[in-house]
Amino acid sequence: MEKEKALKGLKVVDLTSALSGPFCTMFFADFGADVIKIEPVTGDQCRTWGPLDEESGESGFYAYINRNKKGCTLNLKTEEGLQMFYDLVKDADFVCENYKGGVTKKLKIDYDTLKEINPKLIYVSGSGFGQTSPLSDRPCYDIVAQSMGGIVNLTGFTDTDPVKVGPSVADHVSGIYQMVGALIALHYREKTGKGQLVDVAMVDTIFSLLENAIPNYTMTGVIPERNGNIDPSISPFDIYHCKDGFVAVGVGNNNLWRKFCNVLGREDLIEHEEYATNELRSQNYEPELKKIIGDFVLNYTKKEMENMMADAGIPCGPVLNIEEAINHPQIQSREMMVHVEHPTAGDMYFQGVVPKLSETPGTVEEPSPLLGQHNREIFGLTEEEEKRLQELGVI
Amino acid sequence: MEKEKALKGLKVVDLTSALSGPFCTMFFADFGADVIKIEPVTGDQCRTWGPLDEESGESGFYAYINRNKKGCTLNLKTEEGLQMFYDLVKDADFVCENYKGGVTKKLKIDYDTLKEINPKLIYVSGSGFGQTSPLSDRPCYDIVAQSMGGIVNLTGFTDTDPVKVGPSVADHVSGIYQMVGALIALHYREKTGKGQLVDVAMVDTIFSLLENAIPNYTMTGVIPERNGNIDPSISPFDIYHCKDGFVAVGVGNNNLWRKFCNVLGREDLIEHEEYATNELRSQNYEPELKKIIGDFVLNYTKKEMENMMADAGIPCGPVLNIEEAINHPQIQSREMMVHVEHPTAGDMYFQGVVPKLSETPGTVEEPSPLLGQHNREIFGLTEEEEKRLQELGVI
């Protein structure tokens, strides 16, 4: 029996482009909302981002993040295009956008304008610095939000420069927060009929991930610095070289320490005066204890380490590269990789859906739209009308 | 006029501890749900995590992540304690938990058991490997999920070991995903009356942040590797040393390149045969172009660079340490740092609320609970009954 879609019947008018906003509307689409992606007539900029399919020229990234959405084009700078947009908004549940601050007002598509057309509308904004702030008009990239939000300074080894998180966490996590805000607003609207503005800033997003570093500073006055792969207050807790790569091992308490020493064949360390408690181990981890463990781990492969530690009940896992992660039975069994057939690029194989809902699972059923693919359907146009609007540069 | 709370009236029975689950229930609490945090009689483990307030011994981390929640204690391994828990569940909207796989079944508090008591219940599970998977019974820490999820291998410089993201992104982002799943399930329940299970795994969470690395591999067969602070397909896009620290600069297109060359006083580079297009700049960034920019940036402070780039409309921002981030006008104006008065630790100053909702903003109004503070209120006990249950080790 086919499962139901939790967000079926909700209409999302999606002005977002590139990354952060589209990641939010991807959740809407995966859980069944009717997402209408509006692109400029030149297309979302990420249609040109590699990897591109050799024959069709289709972007793998665009295809991934825009699956399950319908696509149309609209030039909002034309009078007719703007009116067509307003028509779409009239019965929309959500408008999502991630323009640079100030742009929506200039285009007359800001929340204050649209709520006059549809007071029940929930308007979801994602941006670098938020809708109201000293820097809200500034352009922002993920690397800037990561830097100003504080995560760059906390990532990397003590003796190297700070390093950004490889993937675009500011963009992505902002997208997830936009979804949280949108759904909270939806619940409120269902009770009261009132729409509202949801405003998520990438810098805030990164800042919210800093966890203990903030109370550590406010309570002690000491500025936390980066520690590479160790945890300054738990030990051993590190990533080690092994025969064929790296493994992470976390020994979070004395019980695990006992088990870990047994695996190492170093029962003498369990009650050793330098290592008997977590506090002692944290103080005395470098250089001696780190070396003892490092030398041990070097004798094994990732897989051997993983199995030994699993048998002993000690948290451990290999550092996987993309190929290994994609093909790992864990990722496969969780359906974190999915296939979809694209009309021009053929089989596409990319990330699945994270929150698993037992009754209303998110699924990937439709490929991303070709540029303007659903123009006639969405705007209710005849072939002639479509042609006329194309020639005018409206769609 | 005081604003309303969007999630007011929702009852969340919160079994979570430490980090990932409590981060999810923090959103519930900040937006007005009635969150009842259930701790073992010995307290949530993170009550012992530093920084500890010198006089009261209160944990800054516990206080931050458990603000706005009510607290009670319960020994679920006692018959009476389990019955008291079932009573709480009868009219709950959500139960949230982040035990290691298999534990809830052993404790008889798994979804299949609780849905018999309350079919409308939404049960939110956060774990390392998910409720159903090859590794679901294994223990997991953030560092293990980061490693197996693929983000560690993509973070760090090309010539150094891979490095984990400093803060616990697997725990935190899983918590945000749990909230997304919970709210999608809530919407469905409002339409149909049906509850369900929401299952979020930390490894899936990390994997979902890898963005373009996945289609890059599936479409080209090339395994993406870490690139430090540069972007292999956009240039210049890097973090540079300046007089008093580091700044991130992103020059994403030819228009920005022109402006950037003007600021550098190097108009000769705009149409230079090695740098005239983004593709050329990406190919020829190292070593020459990187050095030209690096030498320029070294003459300025973070603030000077930020101002120059802002004037030119080029995305740029300083790498801020915790102290600088906390005190930055941007963070302050967004109310990303908030105060709350704690009954024993006094003024606590920590992270605010990320999604900003115009009509129903999340707020921090109540401090975290003392251990068992709301036992009488939540279980409806007299002083004598409370004492009896304490002596029996039930609460």
Q: Would A226 be classed as within a structural domain?
A: no
- Nearest CB among A153, A171, A354 relative to B200 is that of A354
Q: Would B313 be classed as within a structural domain?
A: yes
Alpha-carbon torsion, ordered A53, A59, A60, A64, to 10 deg:
-140
Q: Tell me the C-alpha to C-alpha distance, in Å, between residue B40 and each of A67, B19, B47.
A: 44, 16, 12
Mutate to test the interface with B, among A8, A356, A368 (most CBs of B within 10 A): A356
- The sign of the dihedral angle between the CA atoms of A287, B227, A201, B174 is negative
Tell me whether A227 touches chain B (CB under 8 Å).
yes
Pairwise CB contact (< 8 Å): B336 & A210: no
Q: Would B304 be classed as within a structural domain?
A: yes
Pairwise CB contact (< 8 Å): A334 & B133: yes
B260-309: pLDDT as tens digits: 999 999 999 999 999 999 999 999 999 999 999 999 999 999 999 999 99
Tell me whether A277 touches chain B (CB under 8 Å).
no
Looking at residue B233, its pLDDT comes to 83
Residues B16 and B115 both lie in one domain: yes
Hey, which residues 63-102 in chain A have their CB within 8 Å of chain B? Answer: 63-64
Residues A303 and A338 both lie in one domain: no
Tell me whether A273 touches chain B (CB under 8 Å).
no
DSSP A59: B
Tell me whether B204 touches chain A (CB under 8 Å).
yes
Domain ranges, residue B370? 11-209+334-391
B199-208: pLDDT as tens digits: 999 999 999 9
Beta strands B356-357 and A196-201: pairing type? antiparallel
Compute the mean pLDDT over every residue in chain A, rounded to the nearest whole number.
96
Domain boundary among A268, A286, A321: A321
Do residues B115 and B80 lie in contact, with contact meaning Cβ atoms separated by under 8 Å?
Answer: no
Pairwise CB contact (< 8 Å): B315 & A178: no
Do residues B124 and B97 lie in contact, with contact meaning Cβ atoms separated by under 8 Å?
Answer: yes
At A143, which amino acid appears?
I
**Three-class SS of residue B240?**
strand
H-helix or E-strand spanning residue B295: helix B290-297
Q: pLDDT exceeding 90 applies to what percent of chain B? A: 96
Residues A314 and A363 both lie in one domain: no
3-state helix, strand, coil in chain B (%, to 5): 40, 15, 45
Pairwise CB contact (< 8 Å): A351 & B207: yes
A267: pLDDT strictly greater than 90: yes
Looking at residue A101, its pLDDT comes to 86
Q: Which residues of A are catalytic?
A: 171
B210-220: pLDDT as tens digits: 999 999 999 99
**A200-209, A249-258, B353-362: least confident range:** A249-258
Token pair recorded at residue B67: 């603000």
Contacts of A167 in chain B (CB under 8 A): 151, 154, 209-211, 213
Residues B205 and B67 both lie in one domain: yes
Pairwise CB contact (< 8 Å): A162 & B246: yes
Give pairs for B290-294: CB < 8 Å, separation 24+.
B290/B236, B290/B238, B292/B264, B292/B266, B293/B236, B293/B238, B293/B240, B293/B249, B293/B264, B294/B240, B294/B241
Pairwise CB contact (< 8 Å): A358 & B196: yes
Looking at residue A169, its pLDDT comes to 98
Q: Would A44 be classed as within a structural domain?
A: yes
Q: Would A326 be classed as within a structural domain?
A: no
Tell me whether A140 touches chain B (CB under 8 Å).
yes
B310: pLDDT strictly greater than 70: yes
Mean pLDDT of A53-72: 96
Q: What is the CATH number of the domain that holds A108?
A: 3.40.50.10540
Looking at residue A252, its pLDDT comes to 87
Matching residue, tokens 């520690």: A227
Q: What is the CATH number of the domain that holds B265?
A: 3.30.1540.10
DSSP readout, A90-105?
TT-SEEEE-PPTTHHH
A314: pLDDT strictly greater than 70: yes
Pairwise CB contact (< 8 Å): B134 & A329: yes
Pairwise CB contact (< 8 Å): B184 & A360: yes
Given the residues B44, B171, B204, B238, the one annotated as active site? B171
Residues A343 and A310 both lie in one domain: no
Spell out a b/e string for B238-267, using b for 16 or more CB atoms within 10 Å of the CB, else e: bbbebeebbbbbbbbeeebbebbbeebeee
Residues A142 and A31 both lie in one domain: yes
Mutate to test the interface with B, among A48, A115, A164, A364 (most CBs of B within 10 A): A164
Hey, which residues 39-68 in chain A have their CB within 8 Å of chain B? Answer: 49-51, 53, 60-61, 63-64
Pairwise CB contact (< 8 Å): A139 & B64: no
Residues B95 and B155 both lie in one domain: yes
A268-308: pLDDT as tens digits: 999 999 999 999 999 999 999 999 999 999 999 999 999 99
Confidence class for position A1, pLDDT limits 50, 70, 90: low
Return d(Cα A381, Cα A377) in angstroms, integer: 7
Q: Would A292 be classed as within a structural domain?
A: yes
Nearest CA in chain B to A241: B161
- Nearest CB among B173, B237, B349 relative to A143 is that of B237
Tell me whether B314 touches chain A (CB under 8 Å).
yes
- Nearest CB among B154, B208, B313 relative to A354 is that of B208
Matching residue, tokens 């295809």: A63
Interacting residues of A112 by C-beta distance below 8 A, sequence separation 6+:
none
Tell me whether A156 touches chain B (CB under 8 Å).
yes
Contacts of A180 in chain B (CB under 8 A): 27, 176, 179-180, 183, 355
Interface size A-B, in CB pairs within 8 Å, comes to 481
Tell me whether B248 touches chain A (CB under 8 Å).
yes
Contacts of A241 in chain B (CB under 8 A): 161
A393: pLDDT strictly greater than 90: yes
Residues A162 and A78 both lie in one domain: yes
B232: pLDDT strictly greater than 90: no
Residues B304 and B264 both lie in one domain: yes
Residues A116 and A193 both lie in one domain: yes
Residues B25 and B151 both lie in one domain: yes
Domain boundary among A265, A298, A321: A321
Domain boundary among A267, A298, A321: A321
Return d(Cα B351, Cα B362) in angstroms, integer: 12
Nearest CA in chain B to A224: B322
Nearest CA in chain B to A146: B319
Q: Would B193 be classed as within a structural domain?
A: yes
Do residues B300 and B311 lie in contact, with contact meaning Cβ atoms separated by under 8 Å?
Answer: no
Residues A197 and A242 both lie in one domain: no
Return d(Cα B64, Cα A183) in angstroms, integer: 24
Tell me whether A183 touches chain B (CB under 8 Å).
yes
Compute the mean pLDDT over every residue in chain B, rounded to the nearest whole number.
97
Mean pLDDT of B179-190: 98
Tell me whether B219 touches chain A (CB under 8 Å).
yes
H-helix or E-strand spanning residue B199: strand B196-201
Q: Would B1 be classed as within a structural domain?
A: no
Please list the alpha-helical segments (H only) found in chain A: 20-30, 60-65, 79-89, 103-106, 111-117, 142-149, 169-192, 202-207, 213-220, 254-264, 278-284, 290-297, 302-312, 322-327, 329-333, 375-379, 383-391
Return d(Cα A154, Cα A206) in angstroms, integer: 12
Domains in chain A, number? 2
Confidence class for position B1, pLDDT limits 50, 70, 90: low
Pairwise CB contact (< 8 Å): A134 & B330: yes
Tell me whether A298 touches chain B (CB under 8 Å).
no
